[in-house]
């Protein structure tokens, strides 16, 4: 299976089967800090497994452009993975439903400035793909034993267009 994938806007509802959209959307859950800050509370389903712990790393990724050739996806069977831009750059988020242990048809989302994402454990996804510089991201994922990585290379790449 291969072909062309059109990008779609990133919304919590559309992304929910694959993970969470982390953003300051709507009214804050709580006003804190003497009224000077709104807290948008507990936005992501983090999961680091029974033998792992949470880690924060910084990724400095090369920006890419659309149309984008998708030939490789991966997943982390032991934990979730969150990508939080350290700038207002937009990025491409590719996720794929699993079909009997292999990726099915990818879906491609483009973030708007201020959006971050958390990928659920074992969700097929494209690697971190900024669409503009700087490609600096904080990444919250599992630190622990094992590779926590399964890769899949498509025999025929997908073409992702805007």
Residues found near ligand UGC in the complex (CB under 6 A): 74, 81, 125, 127-128
Hey, which residues does 141 pair with through a beta bridge? 55, 81
Phi, psi (degrees; rounded to nearest 5) at 76: -120, 100
Residues 76-95 that bind Ni ion (CB under 5 A): 81
Phi, psi (degrees; rounded to nearest 5) at 12: -60, -40
Q: Residue 29 Cβ, how far from ligand UGC at the closest point, in Å?
A: 28
Q: Residue 76 Cβ, how far from ligand UGC at the closest point, in Å?
A: 6
Q: Which is nearer to ligand UGC, 34 or 147 (CB)?
A: 147
Hey, which residues does 73 pair with through a beta bridge? 152
Nearest Cα to 92, choosing from 139, 138, 128?
128
Q: Which is nearer to ligand UGC, 38 or 154 (CB)?
A: 154
Q: Residue 38 Cβ, how far from Ni ion at the closest point, in Å?
A: 30
**Which of Ni ion, ligand UGC, none has residue 128 at its interface (CB below 5 to 8 Å by kind)?**
ligand UGC
Are the C-beta atoms of 52 and 143 separated by less than 8 Å?
yes
Query: In the complex, which residues of this chain contact Ni ion (CB under 5 A)?
Result: 81
């Amino acid at each position: 299976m291969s072909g062309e994938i059109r990008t779609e806007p990133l919304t919590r509802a559309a992304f929910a089967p694959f993970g969470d959209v982390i953003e300051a959307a709507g009214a804050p859950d709580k006003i804190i800090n003497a009224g000077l800050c709104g807290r948008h509370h507990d936005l992501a389903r983090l999961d680091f497994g029974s033998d792992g712990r949470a880690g924060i790393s910084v990724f400095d990724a090369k920006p890419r452009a659309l149309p984008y050739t998708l030939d490789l996806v991966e997943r982390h069977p032991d934990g979730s993975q969150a990508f939080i831009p350290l700038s207002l750059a937009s990025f491409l988020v590719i996720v794929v439903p699993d079909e009997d242990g292999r990726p099915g048809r990818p879906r491609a989302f483009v973030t708007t400035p201020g959006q971050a994402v958390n990928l659920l454990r074992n969700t097929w996804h494209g690697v971190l793909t900024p669409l503009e510089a700087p490609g600096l991201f904080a990444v919250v994922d599992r630190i622990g034993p094992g590779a926590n990585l399964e890769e899949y290379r498509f025999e025929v790449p997908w073409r992702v267009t805007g």
